Structure 1
Amino acid sequence: DIVTIPSGATNINIKQQSHGSIPHDGHYLAVRRENGDYILNGNFSVSTVEQYIPVLGAVLKYSGSSTTLERLQSFRQLQEPITIQLLSTAGESIPPKVKYTFYIPKTMTFSKPKDKKIAGKLIHPFGVPQWVSGEWSECSKTRSVECKDNAGFYSNHCNKDLRPSDIRPCADLPCPIWQIGPWSSCSQTCGHGERQRGILCIDYAGKIVKLEDCDPAKMPESVSE
């Protein structure tokens, strides 16, 4: 746990700076109610988008985990205690950077956590992150390649030398090409006339195919003055 914020607290501001200023560094803020229920980033799920989380007496604004500065904010007075936790897929290999502030009435007593070192809750105790490849797209062949741990969370600890390729050759046959015919005679014997010629699209076997199969940017002119 990072800290348990007591009922009656206001102006809550919790920040988790990503390691190396990159999103998905393996650390994520989580919020748990007094009864043990998670209302943010618990039970092996992490929210990547901004959202507003209702609690008794207040609303927590969450930045989402896909930002380099993960943040929780609330300005109204809490009417229930909440515990801020750190979920970790990185273990101790990347130390977390968490700061928090909030205000409580002078009449309240609050004891700061004695252990200054933040203990993260490891959410995948076994295995190492692996590269996860998506399906190949239509030609040109591309696919997504992401580093994830066994729980499906993004990670930065995959072996870069083992990263699968995200692009591969396809359509090994030569592309169809334009074939032009001879120019016709000029339409006028004097003044301004036009000449025309036939344009065909031919595949690698010499078969006539649809004009759309050839590169339109390379299509020759079919009419000339």
Structure 2
Amino acid sequence: MWDCSVDQQCELTCRPVGYRFYVRHSERVRDGTPCVNNTPNDVCVGGQCLSEGCDGVLGSGMVRDRCGVCGGSEGSCVRVAGSFLNSSVPLGYHKILDIPAGATAINITERSASPNYIALRSGTGQSIVNGRWAVDPPGDYEAGGTTFVYTRNRGETLTAPGAVVAFEDPAPPPVSSPALTDRWALERPHPHNSGPSRNARIPPRTDIPLDNRSPFVWMLGQLTECSASCGKGQCCSVDCGSGKRTRNVRCVSDHGSVVSDGECNARLRPQVNEDCHMGPCVSNWYFNDWTDTCSAPCGPGVQKRDVMCVSSGADSECVKEKPANMTACNLGPCVACSALCGNGTQRRNVICIQKLGSDFSVMSPSECAHLEKPSPIQTCEMEACRPQWFTTEWSACSKSCGDGAQTRDVRCLTPDKEPSSSCDLAHRPNAEQPCNSAPCSPSLADESCKDHRANCLMVVQARLCVYSYYKTVCCASCTQNAQRAKRQ
């Protein structure tokens, strides 16, 4: 059994039910094939689903306005509205309004549920909806050149779009009943005291003239060709063997309008279902191509394909051994990725070989020119790079002697150099270390010889101690430097 794709309605692409591969039977269906887009008359033309505009031109985008004018702007008609508020009426049918000829966007709505029923009859007195003291079921009722939609859900509604586009039959059948006018009368049966219950019949009153009761007959549709070239369709219920096919059977009046099935003789109702035979079922294994890619980017892997029995789907009905649905593949040995984390590349050698029995021979690359050469480089993805600790250079020692200290900045950064708090604190580098731990010379014990500036080390490095000012404000550093020079 095949299931057609609805995404490309004008392309004949099907998928077996229960499987995940598609088979394209044709890039485009025959022009004129029905499709579903915006209107019931959409058809496929040149592989595209086109909607018919109200001007009869496919793809024009023309629509009718509320006045029924094709491409109009709703300025050629006026809106008519009103309410029927008279609740003190006796039992029977009571006229509410006349729907004039040419009316469009008709909407009669019961604002709240009540035991009353909306009724509709033609200007000649022919009952359309809820006539002859009978309650009709909700549904579509054709009359006056349009289709009235009757609903009964928390109050009744009767709607119609207005006049529809008509066509002329070149050889119409003889009409025995008088032609209907475009004038319709809307009536409403209103109960008083013990009114009619829903779906109940009430004997007609003698003081109200009734229509001549027309005979009703069963009308059945013909069993046409299947509505789809694949998929379930509306034809036989099976693809092979014996099944059932159905057709619509409706009860219609002499005027051609659909009425309740109870109006027709149930003993004369035609059969809705009948047997159909699609020929003997064939049982065999069917499979599609192997997948294009190996399951492993390098090293040993597998390629897969779908294998199915074309009978009812049960593997036991195919007698032959089921073909393998997996095969081994190997794209060459795995090479280490160029990156320890994140994205990198892998390289491999690609050579042309010829297989002779169980042996392989290396051939010239020109011998494989007719084949697609595999790429010698492929991307590889390692685990995502984690944040790491980063440090600056150590600062200068804070003292020239006697337990100084050096410092540096330590930060946790992501691969994008953004601050992070996810680094391992146990492996955090030190931000401070000791320096110049040698004790100072005894001659520096004079407490008056001290450094009075923070940049005395720079003074020593710039050789400014020869000046009395710097020698005084940086006494300790300059003295220590002088002693160090003497030892050298």
User: Which structure has more strand as a fraction of its residues?
Assistant: 1
Same fold (TM over 0.5): no
Could you say which structure has the greater relative contact order, defined with CA pairs below 8 angstroms and 6 or more residues apart?
Answer: 1
TM-score, structure 1 as length reference: 0.36
TM-score, structure 2 as length reference: 0.17
Specify the structure having the higher radius of gyration (Cα).
Answer: 2
